[in-house]
């Protein structure tokens, strides 16, 4: 049973703020493996693994590229992503934290969807494209599910 505690922290030194930004950007923008070493990070983010499945990372960056090309239409998604990163990770204790970073997942998957849709629009006239993209989506979904299931096998709550 948890105790009811109110914890106050002293004002952190400048290095701590730089570390907060570094850890959050590394895990949620560059999608590189990172762990803060605190108990929260170990429970809520796969140790030594990226925030999302490795097969999704190229699609995420491709989605950012296509979203920047149409920035007029996608600007609000970048604002939501930056605000979620700021308030869900940078201004918290022991980032990166997967449970707090869950607010970023819809935008991350939206950018992945933008990448797949942009590929579809570019090669729309190719024969059997729907079958290839459906198979790709199925493979990505299966890999993501297997990554999640692997993560759940070693997590200790």
DSSP codes joined into one string, 89-142: IITSSSS--HHHHGGGHHHHHHHHHHHHHHHHHHTTTSTTHHHHHHHHHHHHHH
Q: Is it the case that residue 61 has pLDDT exceeding 90?
A: yes
Specify the residue for token string 């297997």: 146
Helix (H, G, I), strand (E, B) or coil at 64: helix
Domain annotation covers residue 98 = yes
What pLDDT is stored for residue 32 in this prediction? Answer: 80
Phi, psi of 130 (to 5 degrees): -60, -40
Domain annotation covers residue 11 = no
- Identify which of 105, 139, 79 has the alpha carbon closest to the alpha carbon of residue 27: 105
Domain annotation covers residue 77 = yes
pLDDT digits (tens, 9 = 90+) for 19-38: 778 878 888 888 887 665 55
Domain annotation covers residue 14 = no
Domain annotation covers residue 94 = yes
What pLDDT is stored for residue 150 in this prediction? Answer: 77
Q: Which helix (H) or strand (E) holds 61?
A: helix 57-69
Domain annotation covers residue 25 = yes
Determine the average pLDDT of the residues in 96-121. 85
Q: Is it the case that residue 8 has pLDDT exceeding 90?
A: no
Write down the pTM of the prediction: 0.77
Domain of residue 127 covers 20-154
What confidence category does residue 156 fall into, taking pLDDT thresholds of 50, 70 and 90? low
- Cα 141 to its chain centre, rounded Å, is 15
What pLDDT is stored for residue 35 in this prediction? Answer: 63
Contact criterion met (CB below 8 Å) for 42 and 35: yes
- Structural domain tally of the chain? 1
pLDDT digits (tens, 9 = 90+) for 139-149: 888 988 887 78
Domain annotation covers residue 12 = no
What pLDDT is stored for residue 56 in this prediction? Answer: 87
Which of 18 and 68 is assigned the larger pLDDT? 68
């Amino acid at each position: 049973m948890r105790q009811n505690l109110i914890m106050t922290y002293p004002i952190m030194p400048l290095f701590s703020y730089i570390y907060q930004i570094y850890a959050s950007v590394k895990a949620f923008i560059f999608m590189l493996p990172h762990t803060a070493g605190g108990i929260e990070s170990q429970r809520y983010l796969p140790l030594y693994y990226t925030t999302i499945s490795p097969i999704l990372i190229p699609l995420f960056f491709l989605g950012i590229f296509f979203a920047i090309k149409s920035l007029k239409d996608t600007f609000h998604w970048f604002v939501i992503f930056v605000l979620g990163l700021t308030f869900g990770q940078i201004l918290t204790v022991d980032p990166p934290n997967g449970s707090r970073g869950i607010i970023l997942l819809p935008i991350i998957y939206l950018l992945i969807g933008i990448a797949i849709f942009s590929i579809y629009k570019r090669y729309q006239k190719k024969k059997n494209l729907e079958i290839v993209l459906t198979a790709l989506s199925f493979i990505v979904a299966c890999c993501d599910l297997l990554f999640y299931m692997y993560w759940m096998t070693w997590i200790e709550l």
